[in-house]
């Protein structure tokens, strides 16, 4: 069935950069529409970070606007999150979400997350 796999997380010093990837896969009769990044820090609610529609039009949370850039490669059902000028408060598990439509059967599908740690 549908599967999302995140990669690219790691540990970086404040001011550094990371690039996250999320590859979606599934049956040929499924299409991936809005794809999003969320994050969750320990003891905190999961929060929206960024999303991109099928055409790549982006939306950003205020906390990351100007520092993060989302993009997508529809041919490979992949989205990316370029994270620059990272701050300690960006530390979280980052999750990819896809709005999936499989012959009129909609679903929200989530990856298992990738850890991003920003510390000195």
Query: Residue 116: its pLDDT value, please?
Result: 98
Q: Quick check: 12 pLDDT over 90?
A: yes
- Cα–Cα distance, 2 to 103 (Å, whole number): 13
- Residues 25-60 pLDDT 10s: 999 999 999 999 999 999 999 999 999 999 999 999
- Cα–Cα distance, 77 to 63 (Å, whole number): 26
Q: Quick check: 104 pLDDT over 90?
A: no
Q: Which residues of 49-74 are buried (b: 16+ CB within 10 A; e: fewer)?
A: bbbbeeeeeeebeeebeeebbbebee
Q: What is the mean pLDDT of the chain?
A: 97
Whose tokens are 């408060």? That residue is 89
């Amino acid at each position: 069935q549908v599967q999302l796999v995140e990669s690219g997380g790691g540990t970086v010093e404040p001011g550094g950069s990371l690039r996250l990837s999320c590859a979606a896969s599934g049956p040929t009769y499924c299409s991936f529409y809005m794809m999003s990044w969320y994050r969750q820090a320990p003891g905190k609610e999961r929060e929206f970070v960024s999303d991109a529609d099928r055409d790549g039009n982006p939306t950003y949370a205020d906390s990351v606007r100007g520092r993060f850039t989302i993009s997508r490669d529809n041919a490979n059902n992949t989205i990316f999150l370029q994270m620059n000028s990272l701050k300690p408060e960006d530390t979280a598990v980052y999750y990819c979400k896809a709005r999936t439509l499989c012959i009129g059967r909609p679903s929200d599908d989530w990856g298992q997350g990738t850890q991003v740690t920003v510390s000195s």
